[in-house]
């Protein structure tokens, strides 16, 4: 027994049997996945597989070990009861879903009601942007998100906003994403921070956790291949890779994510160099072993 193991053994022995069991149980829990949270997957990653065989694909996702999924409307053309049946049959839960921009408050309300039927906790929305986008677009977008967030609040649902890289463009020194954070009500509008796109844009997810604590309820987890120049503008080549195989420091991000307000996180890979189900297993295995 080396000195480190011996010290740990004596420490555990001094705790007594009940405390020892609790200590080992806690250690196992923390090693199960970052922060002990279920590892989730956004189904966009396996979209082609889902389109061919939704039930079979979700079964494979569950067999890999994923416990949660995030979906995008219109839910592969399935009704709310059928979605619930398929998820339940595979031991999966679905806390959140992406929605397109609603043209009217009544259209958004219908989406809120449908979200409630499925039993989701979070609605993920976006905002309309002109081409090229302006800072005024983001100011108007913040007003829209606040209105939508209030509709969600009344239904017991939390609105969140998902970023890409282009929100980190600056307009006369103002970062568009920061303007959204500043102008949206922190209670009505949380954020789903896509750590890949923040990093791709040359920004630091951890700094956002520190600057805006409690705003980031959801995270998208995907990795960035080495050799890509950070930019909030165009994307060249295929920069996406499995979690743990790129340049992003995930231990550092997860260590700070609690301060950011993390409740759920989801693996995502927009494009894969191998079959997507193989990619999501690689990402799952990495996160399963990641001890934060």
CA 19 to chain CA mean position, Å: 34
State the average pLDDT for the chain: 89
* Whole-angstrom distance, CA of residue 163 vs CA of residue 192: 7
Is the pLDDT at 14 greater than 70, yes or no?
A: no
* Whole-angstrom distance, CA of residue 36 vs CA of residue 27: 10
pLDDT in tens, 134-153: 999 999 999 999 999 999 99
**283: which 2 tokens?**
């990402």
Q: Tell me the average pLDDT across 245-274.
A: 98
Helices 54-64, 276-289: inter-axial angle, 10-degree rounding:
30
Place of tokens 């219908």: 110
* Whole-angstrom distance, CA of residue 202 vs CA of residue 184: 23
Note the pLDDT of residue 73. Answer: 80
* Whole-angstrom distance, CA of residue 45 vs CA of residue 47: 6
Q: Tell me the average pLDDT across 166-176.
A: 97
Extended strands (E) in the chain: 40-42, 68-72, 93-98, 122-125, 158-162, 170-171, 174-175, 189-194, 218-221, 223-224, 240-241, 264-267
H helix and E strand count, the chain: 12, 12
- 18 vs 151 pLDDT, higher one: 151
Neighbour count for residue 31 (Cβ, 10 Å): 14
- 235 vs 11 pLDDT, higher one: 235
Note the pLDDT of residue 32. Answer: 53
DSSP assignment of 188-206 equals TEEEEEEHHHHHHTT--HH
Is the pLDDT at 270 greater than 80, yes or no?
A: yes
Place of tokens 């806390």: 95
Is the pLDDT at 254 greater than 60, yes or no?
A: yes
Of 63, 72, 68, the closest CA to residue 39 belongs to: 68
pLDDT in tens, 38-65: 999 999 999 999 999 999 999 999 999 9
Cβ contact 49:76 at 8 Å? no
Note the pLDDT of residue 292. Answer: 84
Strongest mean pLDDT among 18-22, 99-103, 278-282: 278-282
Is the pLDDT at 11 greater than 70, yes or no?
A: no
Q: Tell me the average pLDDT across 85-111.
A: 93
User: What burial class does residue 197 get, using C-beta atoms within 10 Å of its C-beta: 0-12 exposed, 13-18 middle, 19+ buried?
Assistant: buried
Helices 176-183, 135-154: inter-axial angle, 10-degree rounding:
40
- Apex CA 117: angle with CA 112 and CA 119, to 5°? 95
Listed range (177-181, 194-198, 234-238, 276-280) with the worst mean pLDDT: 234-238
């Amino acid at each position: 027994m080396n000195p480190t193991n011996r010290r740990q053994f004596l420490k555990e022995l001094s705790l007594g049997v009940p405390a020892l069991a609790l200590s080992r149980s806690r250690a196992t829990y923390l090693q199960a996945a970052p922060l002990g949270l279920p590892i989730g997957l956004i189904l966009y990653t396996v979209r082609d597989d889902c389109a061919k065989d939704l039930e079979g694909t979700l079964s494979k996702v569950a067999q890999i070990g994923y416990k949660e999924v995030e979906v995008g409307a219109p839910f592969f053309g399935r009704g709310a009861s059928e979605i619930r049946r398929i998820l339940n049959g595979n031991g999966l839960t679905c806390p959140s879903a992406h929605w397109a921009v609603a043209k009217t408050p009544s259209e958004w309300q219908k989406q809120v009601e449908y979200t409630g039927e499925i039993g989701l906790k979070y609605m993920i929305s976006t905002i309309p942007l002109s081409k090229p986008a302006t800072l005024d677009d983001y100011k108007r977008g913040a007003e829209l998100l606040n209105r939508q967030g209030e509709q969600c609040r009344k239904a017991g649902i939390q609105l969140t906003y998902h970023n890409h890289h282009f929100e980190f463009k600056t307009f006369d020194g103002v970062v568009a994403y920061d303007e959204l954070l500043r102008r949206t009500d922190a209670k009505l509008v949380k954020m789903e921070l896509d750590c890949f796109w923040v990093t791709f844009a040359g920004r630091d997810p951890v700094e956002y956790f520190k600057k805006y604590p409690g705003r980031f309820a959801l995270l998208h987890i995907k990795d960035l291949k080495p050799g890509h120049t950070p930019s909030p503008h165009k994307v060249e080549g295929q920069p996406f890779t499995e979690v743990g195989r790129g340049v992003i420091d995930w231990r550092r991000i997860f260590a700070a994510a609690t301060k950011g307000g993390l409740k759920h996180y989801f693996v995502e890979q927009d494009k894969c160099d191998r079959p997507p189900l193989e990619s999501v297993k690689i990402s799952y295995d990495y996160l399963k072993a990641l001890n934060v």
